[in-house]
Structure 1
């Protein structure tokens, strides 16, 4: 056999082996698909689901854009007709918006699309349901990425149907807690170092307490001090009392405790000034004071008044909370304020406090004023999404900050779980004598 014939034979055999190996791999993935999807849903999506979805999006993109009215004719209609009559030429294909690379997420995909002249992001927002139907995905969300470009994000399944607590990998970051799942499938993380103060609102059985349980459960193992203010006699926050450094159960105690917290921040300010640093994070670990997370449940109980004496107490409490919100982020004091109802009718102190709480979480609420107070000043679209939450969607919430808004759902941490966690980590509760004395 000559060298040329041998080379030709090898060139013929090589593609055959490639096809056989590829066929075996594809068959194996298809056979193992159901088991892989159950045990490793993210791996299944990246190996099988996402490639199929890319083909689906590319194949349907042009007819989908045309059907949604997002395609633009290349030539005026009269010119097209005359060209057909005169030359028998087929009509030119309409221009469609160009999309970029389709990128996978843990449970979906996203892509950027450049708008054609005359188009606005709202045109693509209206086409979102049609995209979801055409691609057979759970939902599509369109947001403005930059001028002239929109971001289309699709979720294949509903990640909020049954959020699962992610596995902890390595030590938790200080003041950072994964409390649930975002609609994109990513973890919902509350990072107090990045967004130091939060407002959480929600009607009874909407999921507000579950979110607080998840937050406390994540903070309990960390070297932080937890302080509770629950003016409903401590019915909610007393679950965590073994892990709390102080707990106020009525307004009189709350006023004293808040005043002590203000004094604590002023003392820390003196330490930072003496060390010539701008915040406690500039201090060495041996000098740095313990971070304090203040959880205020049912904020309305602090501001409702029925007498002159109660009015003075409410004013003192509101002033102290506003000062903590203004000074606390740099000095290691963080606020998590929760309530069933938060409105301007509670007084100007509530509105001033709201302006200092950069993170907002709105569950289903009983009145539109509370949703407006929580989200209205940040994003009108977030407000509409929160008002659409139904009573059957317990735990569902809309969270918003200066970065934007998203739908999310907190992990289910029951009251029994909260009590067990508080008892397990009770030995980590820092002793702050000035706060204990004030709360008595």
Structure 2
């Protein structure tokens, strides 16, 4: 009897202590939640935020799909009605798309959904705002994964509110720079080897200069040549002058510099043809010429004209830029073209150049035409997202390429930091004798 009693008592006490310990741990997490969220947001999300969201997703999945029109009745409508009238039985539960495993990310979660017959990814794209409201998260993005399957990615909070980007140590990968953070929480990486030419637009104080600062700061430690064209007297790009192999500060200089860059590109073409390779990356390391990144600030200054002579200069500059965009990617010359305003009113050269710039970044702009010029030919949804950026969201931008579009925010690099980086790596500046700016 005594042994049985002790066994029974141990069996009761064991689960009781386990419940007490579990209650204490949960209480401690709840009490420490705010501090944990501030100091260790990823840990807070994994321990508290993610389990709570998983519960909401599972609990609301069926009614949410039905409310968004994504559920399908198991019987034809007349069969259901006759069953209700004739037998008084409840109708069968509608079929809903099957939800896959919910996987956590650093600031949200992702899941795959298998579409029902007759459904298309656009149906789920339209339902994304309702999903965000139902799951109480910041935003939901839906993308097509493969035929019959969509990928749903949710962000629990806005990672663009206070982006945290680790400082780059060392040169890193050639022509690849982390300049900020994406809305998904991942790093915003500009890889010029993958997308060689970029158009960056944005109004004053929208974050355009900050993005260029971040890009130059990331490229400065790398074995590349940086070339600047700033026809506003060098007011912006002169910050990096110690690290620039050449800098043009007016249109006349810009035309000579661009012409020299075209000649450099043609010389490299001859070298590649003699070596029977299709680009400079097929050459041996010791024979490969240094990559050149050309940064053009305020593109409108190159194309605005007030006289016949200026018209000829603008046409020459535009033609050279288009040739560089067409030939440069394979021959190690990359373009980053920036401006406050980019529109077809600047001339046909701008439209032709825009077609060659496969990467686009649109900050807040002062006129809808600039946003249309930057993003309209790639993705209408990206255009809507860019037009929704407010003045309070400085640094926030929409980036688009052939791979799709994302919201992002650049890492803050101040003018003093940009100057310090240029001075620190000035000894790495390649000397390119071809890029001479002396007047003929």
Identify whether the pair has TM-score above 0.5, normalized to the shorter chain: yes
- Aligned positions of 1:246-257 closer than 5 A: 246-257=246-257
Q: Residues 49 and 170 of structure 1: is their aligned pair in 2 closer, same or farther, counting only changes over 3 Å?
A: farther
Match of 2:4 in 1: none
Residue 117 of structure 1 and its aligned partner are, at CA, apart by 3.0
Match of 1:393 in 2: 393
Match of 1:4 in 2: none
Provide the secondary structure at the position in 2 that maps to 1:268.
helix
How many residue pairs align between the two structures? 438
Residue 43 of structure 1 and its aligned partner are, at CA, apart by 2.9
Residues 1:271 and 2:263 are matched in the alignment: no
Residue 148 of structure 1 and its aligned partner are, at CA, apart by 3.1
8 Å contact from structure 1 (residues 201, 342) kept in 2: yes
Residue 50 of structure 1 and its aligned partner are, at CA, apart by 1.8
Match of 1:283 in 2: 283
Match of 1:217 in 2: 217
Residues 1:430 and 2:430 are matched in the alignment: yes
Match of 1:125 in 2: 125
Please report the TM-score for the alignment, with normalisation by the length of structure 1.
0.92
- Aligned positions of 1:198-217 closer than 5 A: 198-217=198-217
Provide the secondary structure at the position in 2 that maps to 1:153.
strand
Residue 15 of structure 1 and its aligned partner are, at CA, apart by 7.9
User: Once structures 1 and 2 are overlaid, which stretch shifts more, 220-229 or 247-256?
Assistant: 220-229
Return the alpha-carbon distance in structure 2 between the equivalents of residues 237 and 316 of structure 1: 22
Provide the secondary structure at the position in 1 that maps to 2:407.
strand
Which structure 2 residue ranges, 5 or more long, are not aligned? 2-6
Please report the TM-score for the alignment, with normalisation by the length of structure 2.
0.92
Match of 1:341 in 2: 341
Return the alpha-carbon distance in structure 2 between the equivalents of residues 25 and 170 of structure 1: 42
Provide the secondary structure at the position in 2 that maps to 1:435.
coil
8 Å contact from structure 2 (residues 256, 437) kept in 1: no
Return the alpha-carbon distance in structure 2 between the equivalents of residues 368 and 73 of structure 1: 44
8 Å contact from structure 1 (residues 248, 439) kept in 2: no
Q: Residues 360 and 285 of structure 1: is their aligned pair in 2 closer, same or farther, counting only changes over 3 Å?
A: same
Return the alpha-carbon distance in structure 1 between the equivalents of residues 382 and 108 of structure 2: 21
Return the alpha-carbon distance in structure 2 between the equivalents of residues 439 and 119 of structure 1: 65
Residue 130 of structure 1 and its aligned partner are, at CA, apart by 1.7
Match of 1:47 in 2: 47
Residue 22 of structure 1 and its aligned partner are, at CA, apart by 6.4
Residue 309 of structure 1 and its aligned partner are, at CA, apart by 1.4
Residue 31 of structure 1 and its aligned partner are, at CA, apart by 5.5
Match of 1:192 in 2: 192
Q: Residues 78 and 437 of structure 1: is their aligned pair in 2 closer, same or farther, counting only changes over 3 Å?
A: closer
Residue 40 of structure 1 and its aligned partner are, at CA, apart by 2.6
Q: Residues 333 and 11 of structure 1: is their aligned pair in 2 closer, same or farther, counting only changes over 3 Å?
A: farther
Provide the secondary structure at the position in 2 that maps to 1:111.
strand
1:195-240 deviation digits (Å, cap 9, x = unpaired): 0000001111111111111111111111111100001111111111
Match of 1:262 in 2: 262
- Kindly report the root-mean-square deviation, in angstroms, between the aligned alpha carbons of the 2 structures: 2.7
User: Once structures 1 and 2 are overlaid, which stretch shifts more, 326-335 or 412-421?
Assistant: 412-421
User: Once structures 1 and 2 are overlaid, which stretch shifts more, 383-392 or 182-191?
Assistant: 383-392
Residue 56 of structure 1 and its aligned partner are, at CA, apart by 1.6
Return the alpha-carbon distance in structure 2 between the equivalents of residues 43 and 279 of structure 1: 46
Return the alpha-carbon distance in structure 1 between the equivalents of residues 168 and 40 of structure 2: 17
Return the alpha-carbon distance in structure 1 between the equivalents of residues 118 and 250 of structure 2: 59
Residue 358 of structure 1 and its aligned partner are, at CA, apart by 0.5
Return the alpha-carbon distance in structure 1 between the equivalents of residues 309 and 63 of structure 2: 69
Match of 1:58 in 2: 58
Q: Residues 204 and 46 of structure 1: is their aligned pair in 2 closer, same or farther, counting only changes over 3 Å?
A: same
Q: Residues 117 and 269 of structure 1: is their aligned pair in 2 closer, same or farther, counting only changes over 3 Å?
A: same
Return the alpha-carbon distance in structure 2 between the equivalents of residues 209 and 40 of structure 1: 31
